[in-house]
Chain A
Amino acid sequence: MVSTCLTAPKLSAPTLQTLCRNLPLTLPSSTLYSFSRLLSPSTSRFRHHHVPLQRRCLFSTRSKSGNDAEPLRDYDFDLFTIGAGSGGVRASRFAANFGASVAVCELPFSTISSETTGGVGGTCVLRGCVPKKLMVYASKYSHEFHESNGFGWKYDTKPKHDWSTLVANKNAELQRLTGIYKNILNNAGVTLIEGRGKIVDPHTVDVDGKLYTARHILISVGGRPFIPEIPGSEYAIDSDAALDLSTKPEKVAIVGGGYIALEFAGIFNGLKSEVHVFIRQKKVLRGFDEEIRDFVGDQMSLRGIEFHTEEAPQAIVKSADGSLSLTTNKGTVEGFSHIMFATGRRPNTKNLGLESVGVKTNKNGAIEVDEYSRTTVPSIWAVGDVTDRINLTPVALMEGGALAKTLFQNEPTKPDYRAIPSAVFSQPPIGQVGLTEEQAIKEHGDIDVYTANFRPLKATLSGLPDRVFMKLIVCARTNKVLGLHMCGEDSAEIVQGFAVAVKAGLTKVDFDATVGIHPTSAEEFVTMRTPTRKIRQSPAAEGKMGVEANAAGV
């Protein structure tokens, strides 16, 4: 009986992503609602210290058979989560669906994060994925206006962008989303507490002076942008602020070559700012496939972004007219209205009381966890960016989901980090899954590389210099597709389906057996017949060494 009840809501709980987009709100499902009522008849009057008897019994039974053999103690909650971002909300909600009594605390809402501000929804919803993507949509139109000219559309007056309309509409959407997330928690029967959570002992959290006890504590406080200390760094803005500027930056410097830097470069460029990107390396996007790095840099330059390579920032000076100049190891560029640093993010682990309870952090401040997301203190767990594993929303969701199963469904579950796809919403965007060519050579030795670099149908009409680059990396021994990379329109959408195939360990033969969808860009991934190069480590294999070039067949 109990187990039936426990599994039912899993099926009826819509995903977070769905809810983000599901407008108007379509939750809760009746099953979920009746389930939470069943376990907690007094949901509306629910207080953390009145744990319903049924639920507590349920859990004491479970935990005895679980791996903690600790004596039964009376806790306010089965789970107390600090931080209601992607990972925290997912873990809390799922834990509640599995029958746990759950509370989550989160800082008050603000578009700019700090030691005292945050908001339900977290980075993804308020200061990351969502507002960023909305800005990308807005900025992409200027490219579309150009494209549309080639298709016969004409503008009597040049389209002008009104910054304040965008920011107002974007912020209204964020307010709506934070409300949706609160509803999600509420509907799942999770108690939401506004305030700053601090761990007092392995089973106690202090939120602004009030103490709460919990069988398990989850830290999911995320990360924040980090700006290195250089003279004048107080004039720089980070990505939080860049998403919430009140006026259009006329001329902006972006320091950094990672995905955040590139995404903002595209946004500001599309919204008609003059954009300069300063990177320490020779190329953007360290860690990505080398060919993708070259390709995206070229395409972004063609759209008007100026890259300053191998330049490290040394100082920012504010001049009398209010404009900023950026000095690097190579010289000084003047006249910036804004200087944005996209120089990395740091885990929010300060002032959480971690040292006092003995939760270990690494040198970057990230919480050390085992494969089940357990910290060095057995009752304390951590998921998401605060653990600095792979800092992506869907990964935090996976970690949160796995943790809820581990703790409250008697099903120890490790997050699976293999073949996690990801996207960069630069313009053009990048999608990728699996290994880069460089990683593949290191791990597998002999590989075949298939590439396509073509002008998409749309560009032949628009006359713009847009191109698409695609790449498949195949293990020469097993024929498995090890990596798949793309830069060009719709990359992020295209790669998702292929990620299922790569994750499932499918081979190049499987790709070839799939019929194309014509005319699309994506069909190119199933029509790559001739390897661009075969890389062989051992002279014995095929009797030749190094790279064998080959013209790709049309």
Chain B
Amino acid sequence: MARKMLVDEGMSQTNQEEAHYDFDLFVIGAGSGGVRAARFSANFGAKVGICELPFHPISSEVIGGVGGTCVIRGCVPKKILVYGAAFGGELEDARNYGWELNEKLNFNWKKLLHKKTDEIIRLNGIYKRLLSNAGVKLFEGEGKIVGPNEVEVTQLDGTKLSYSAKHILIATGSRAHRPPIPGQELGITSDEALSLEDLPKRAVIFGGGYIAVEFASIWRGLGADVDLFFRRELPLRGFDDEMRAVVARNLEARGINLHAQTNLTELIKTDNGIKVITDHGVELEADVVLFATGRLPNSKRLNLEAVGVELDNTGAVKVDEYSRTNISSIWAVGDVTNRMNLTPVALMEGTCFAKTAFGGESSKPDYSSIPCAVFSIPPLSVVGLSEEQAIEKANSDVLVFTSTFNPMKNTISGRQEKTVMKLVVDSETDKVLGASMCGPDAPEIMQGIAVALKCGATKAQFDSTVGIHPSAAEEFVTMRSVSRRITVRGKPKTNL
């Protein structure tokens, strides 16, 4: 069927010029972006090959697995652990609702770990099936680019396969990196953190990004003592400042020790664990030290220099708006391009690539109003501009609506934790420029809000929507009072 479509529609160009290629498309890396691009290209009628490293939960230069970071070492296992950890607080909350539970609750980490691994193995299989159902040929091994239209795959047994392809797509993603401090080999990255044999009793996390914050919540929820060190005043740089403060407050209230503006300088092995030394002279001992200090693109072993594919100074593959590198037959999507490192963005980039290369429809990914979530406990979710960004970009005054409330569930559970919601509105156009929420269910709530924002919904349209009562989400449509108005100075209106 796929082959028939290839002949039937739109592929005449391929047929007349490059019938001699082994593949229309060869994809290196079967993560979110690569699998999406491969499947959709195949659906458009292209003949597609894809290579991926062998499966293992912990990635390395030679280990990977179909499904990629999201499925094996990212979103999915992380969310599973967050679910597991969230029960810690949930069960405490149950008591005031009349539930009698043992004083000390048992938690079996090995069971959770085992079930998590089962689930990602299952998903790994599903992704393989998706590829084969789409007619994509999967090779297990390490891919290298040997020419603008030539790929070499080194298989597990060392044998090398060589294929020609009209288009090559680099979708090799990224990997966690460790800071170069003495004793860094004693620390772990998020890969290992998702597969630890034993649950740490004392955990130290270095980093202030979403990965750091999520693991802090996971381990704390499962009962560990957690110390979180980060360089800035608040975690989650790049997010709305007010919301960053909310997250920090919530983490602390849940028992996580925050150490702002602090760097780790050295790790030393001791009899009882790892001694952690900071630039403030603080010393403490931990069972596990997690480096969540950023990720780097997997671009080193692809032989890109040989063909002249340009990289930026972080090692990310440089691409144009259509995800094409400086070599016209070579493209790249997902984390390896370090644009916006999110699974749904890689999916979008993969889809746009397939449309551009094989769908006869040049298609640019649209990076406006992309929602995202931080699965801390409780979670944060945002879409559009932060208050700071809105002020920076605004041509007219910015209206900020906020709502801070005790979620109804807490009225009985007694948990002292406020939900905070925020809308940032352009005073002249009435358009909602940004929305954020920190509180239970925030990521689920934000998705629909994201549709509205993406399409330029106005505050009036939010207000005209009737609430769903009683929910937390209804607060987004019942924010009547402006909390503050920020006058944009130095930007005279051009039409006056």
Contact = CB atoms under 8 A, between A and B. Distances in A.
A156 B99 contact: no
B122 to A, nearest CB: 8
A535 B403 CA distance: 43
Interface string B368-406: 011111000000010000000000000000000001111
A29 to B, nearest CB: 8
Contacts of A147: 87
Interface in A496-512: 496-501, 503-504, 506, 510-511
The bracket for how many chain A residues form the interface is: 35 or more
Contacts of A61: none
Main secondary structure of the interface of B (DSSP, over half): helix
B480 A497 contact: no
Interface in A516-535: 516-523, 525-526
B441 A497 contact: no
Nearest to B446: A517
Interface in B96-115: 96-102, 105-112, 115
Interface stretch (A19-27, A252-260, A340-348, A358-366): A19-27
A154 B91 CA distance: 11
Interface in B338-381: 342-345, 347-348, 366, 369-373, 381
A496 B448 contact: yes
A12 interface: yes
B318 to A, nearest CB: 22
B454 to A, nearest CB: 5
Given A457-B79, A513-B454, A133 B448 contact: no
A338 to B, nearest CB: 18
A17 B457 contact: no
A431 interface: yes
A235 interface: no
Interface residues on B, range: 35 or more
Contacts of A526: 447, 450-451
Interface stretch (A42-50, A134-142, A289-297): A134-142
A522 B474 contact: no
Given A496-B468, A517-B373, A490 B441 contact: yes
A21 B83 CA distance: 25
Main secondary structure, interface of A, reads helix
Nearest to B373: A517
Interface centre among B404, B410, B455 (most CB of A within 10 A): B455
A500 B465 contact: yes
Interface in B473-496: 473-482
Nearest to A509: B455
Interface in B74-101: 75-76, 79-80, 83-84, 87, 90-91, 94, 96-101
A169 interface: yes
A493 B130 contact: no
B282 interface: no
A510 B455 contact: yes
B65 to A, nearest CB: 17
Contacts of B473: 492-497
A393 to B, nearest CB: 5
Contact of B75 (A29, A460, A518, A554): A518
Given A21-B407, A423-B471, A517-B447, A161 B107 contact: no
Given A154-B108, A517-B344, A526-B447, A161 B408 contact: no
Interface of A: 10-15, 17-18, 20-23, 29, 124, 129-130, 133-134, 137-138, 141, 144-145, 147-148, 150-157, 159-166, 169-170, 173, 176, 392-395, 397-398, 416, 419-423, 431, 457-458, 460-461, 490, 492-501, 503-504, 506, 510-511, 513-523, 525-526, 554
Given A498-B447, A498-B451, 5 more contacts: A145-B91, A461-B119, A500-B452, A515-B371, A523-B447
17 contacts: A15-B478, A17-B469, A17-B470, A134-B411, A141-B94, A144-B90, A153-B105, A154-B107, A160-B100, A162-B98, A416-B464, A460-B119, A492-B471, A495-B448, A515-B450, A516-B344, A525-B448
